[in-house]
Structure 1
Amino acid sequence: MANGSRQAAWEFFGTELKRRREDAGLTQVDLGHRVFVSGGYIGQFEQAIRKPQLDVAKRIDEVLQTDGFFERLWRKLIKDQPYTEYFAHVVELERLATEICEYAPTVVPGLLQTREYAQAVFLAGNPLAADEYIEELLKGRMARTRLLKDATRPVYWVVLHETVLRVQVGGPAVMAHQLDHIAALVRERKALVQVLPFTTGAHPAMGKMMKLMGFEDAPPTVYTEGVFSGSLLDEPAVVRRTQSSYDLIRAAALSSEASLALIESAAEDHRRCASST
């Protein structure tokens, strides 16, 4: 399904939600209270500005007694897009965010990946997959990276553990190009990047990626990821605790200038390795 068609389908989702909510005699606030989101969220669903998560779609069906209509439509729309079900909502939120803060302990974050690096990551996780499947994954990943090139891009601040710079994903030539790309984004002031060096030792959230997203008219959200799974969290206490952990990581990381120097030095190390093979 093309992006335009998918957006039209989400608009249909919103139109139906509004119609059936009003038929039930409920305000946006009434429905939001019953499905455990704000009335403002319901309004954003109805305008196709924001997409509900699956559990919310299910609760809407229960409250409006729509016999699974919104769950089925949600599953159809998620199936017809290039992201895994648990990550699709994150992609939508990235587009709405005014600020994204991310910590990456092992792998370059998707928003910063080059095509060659992303391909190596996908092939490592899908060694027997057909080329067509890998290409679909790459299309989705590369579409996400365009977010940082938009005039209305969010403030993007990422902390990379030094491991990310050293592990040769795709080989030394791919890594050199990947780190050059990150350095270029920093120099173009499209991303704020810090490196947490090996010498830091123990630190908060060891081995755990985290993404914090802030919005102009909605509460902040945290995304964390496991093995073939992910969790979106917006409970205020959890968000505050995650923000505190991220602030500690950011404070322990190298300065922006020192981080850029280390990224460029690591790129040169990979380049020398590539030329010697």
Structure 2
Amino acid sequence: MANGSRQAAWEFFGLELKRRREDAALTQVELGLRVFVSGGYIGQFEQAIRKPQLDVAQRIDDALQTDGIFERMWRKLIDDHRYADYFAEVVELERLATTVCEFAPSVVPGLLQTAAYARAVTIEANPFVTDEYVEEKVTGRRERAAILRDATRPEYWVVLHENVLRIPVGGPAVMAEQLGRIAALMRQRVVWATVIPYAEGAHASMGGMLQLMEFEDAPPVAYTETAFSGTLIDEPAVVKRAQRAYDLLRGAALSPEATLALVESAAEDHRRCASTT
């Protein structure tokens, strides 16, 4: 589903929510109390400014006695085969975020990936898939990255472990291009990036991939991911712990200036390697 069609569908979701709420003679605040969100959230759902999470859609069905219609609409709208089931909702939230912070322990984050790097990552993780499958995944990642080119793009902060610069994904030429892209985005001040060098050792806060998102009129969320699953977290206490872990990671990283020098040096190392093969 194209982005314009998807937005129109979410607008229908919002109009239907408003109609059903008014039929039940409930205000936005009253419905919000029943589904454990603010009345302002209900208003944002109705205007298609913000998308509800699945459990909220299910509670709306219960509160309005709508026989699962909002859950079914939610599942249809979030269903996007370019992304893993557990990640599709994160893509929707990225489009609404004012700030995105990521920690990448071994692989370049999707928002920064070149097409060649994304293709290599997909094939290495799924060596028996079709070319059509690979290109679908690559297209999805490139479309996600469009938020960094928008005039209203979020602030994007990323902490990379030095592994990301050194692990040869797709070969040296692909790596040289990928690191060159990161350096260019840093120089254009589109991305604020830092690297945790090997010299820092096994930092206490290191673990799997971590993403934090902040919004103008909604609480922050966190997303963590392993090789086969991901978890979106909106529990305030857990999100706060994730934010503290990210602060510790950022404190262990090099300065942006030293990071840029290291990224460009690693790109040149891969470039030299590519020229000799």
Same fold (TM over 0.5): yes
Equivalent residues in 2 for 1:202-217, closer than 5 Å = 202-217=202-217
Q: Distance in 2 between matches of 1:183 and 1:6?
A: 33
SS in 1 for 2:213: strand
Task: For residue 234 of structure 1, report the CA deviation from its aligned partner.
Answer: 2.0
Q: Distance in 1 between matches of 2:134 and 2:82?
A: 11
SS in 2 for 1:202: coil
Residue in 2 aligned with 1:245?
A: 245
Q: Distance in 1 between matches of 2:84 and 2:247?
A: 29
1:213 is matched by which residue type in structure 2?
Answer: M
1:262 is matched by which residue type in structure 2?
Answer: L
Q: Distance in 1 between matches of 2:215 and 2:79?
A: 26
Q: Deviations over 1:225-261 (max 9, x none)?
A: 1233222222222222111111111111001011111
Q: Deviations over 1:117-170 (max 9, x none)?
A: 001111122222111121111111101111111121111110000000000111
TM-score of the two chains, using structure 2 as the length reference: 0.96
1:17 aligns with 2:17: yes
Q: Distance in 1 between matches of 2:154 and 2:110?
A: 15
Residue in 2 aligned with 1:74?
A: 74
Q: Distance in 2 between matches of 1:152 and 1:146?
A: 11
Q: Distance in 2 between matches of 1:81 and 1:131?
A: 15
Q: How many residues align?
A: 277
2:21 is matched by which residue type in structure 1?
Answer: R
Residue in 1 aligned with 2:199?
A: 199
Query: 91-100 or 186-195, which moves further after superposition?
Result: 91-100
Residue in 2 aligned with 1:275?
A: 275
The 8 Å contact of residues 105 and 208 in structure 2, kept in 1 or not, is answered as yes
Identity value in percent: 71
Unaligned runs of 5+ in 2: none
Q: Distance in 2 between matches of 1:48 and 1:81?
A: 22
1:37 aligns with 2:37: yes
The 8 Å contact of residues 100 and 213 in structure 1, kept in 2 or not, is answered as yes
Residue in 1 aligned with 2:141?
A: 141
SS in 2 for 1:224: strand
Q: Deviations over 1:27-85 (max 9, x none)?
A: 22222222222222211111111111222211211111111111111121222563222
Q: Distance in 2 between matches of 1:214 and 1:204?
A: 24
Unaligned runs of 5+ in 1: none
Q: Distance in 2 between matches of 1:54 and 1:243?
A: 24
The 8 Å contact of residues 106 and 207 in structure 1, kept in 2 or not, is answered as no
Residue in 2 aligned with 1:86?
A: 86
The 8 Å contact of residues 104 and 164 in structure 1, kept in 2 or not, is answered as yes
The 8 Å contact of residues 80 and 88 in structure 2, kept in 1 or not, is answered as no
Residue in 2 aligned with 1:162?
A: 162
SS in 2 for 1:85: coil
TM-score of the two chains, using structure 1 as the length reference: 0.96
2:64 is matched by which residue type in structure 1?
Answer: L
Task: For residue 23 of structure 1, report the CA deviation from its aligned partner.
Answer: 1.1
Query: 15-24 or 127-136, which moves further after superposition?
Result: 127-136
Give every structure 1 segment of 4 or more consecutive aligned residues whose post-TM-superposition deviation is greater than 4 Å.
none
CA pair 40-204 structure 1, distance change in 2 beyond 3 A: farther
1:25 is matched by which residue type in structure 2?
Answer: A
The 8 Å contact of residues 206 and 249 in structure 2, kept in 1 or not, is answered as no
Residue in 2 aligned with 1:27?
A: 27
Q: Distance in 2 between matches of 1:264 and 1:155?
A: 22
SS in 2 for 1:51: coil
Query: 158-167 or 219-228, which moves further after superposition?
Result: 219-228
SS in 1 for 2:87: helix
Q: Distance in 2 between matches of 1:13 and 1:132?
A: 31
The 8 Å contact of residues 101 and 211 in structure 1, kept in 2 or not, is answered as yes
1:97 aligns with 2:97: yes
1:55 is matched by which residue type in structure 2?
Answer: D
Residue in 2 aligned with 1:171?
A: 171
SS in 2 for 1:101: strand
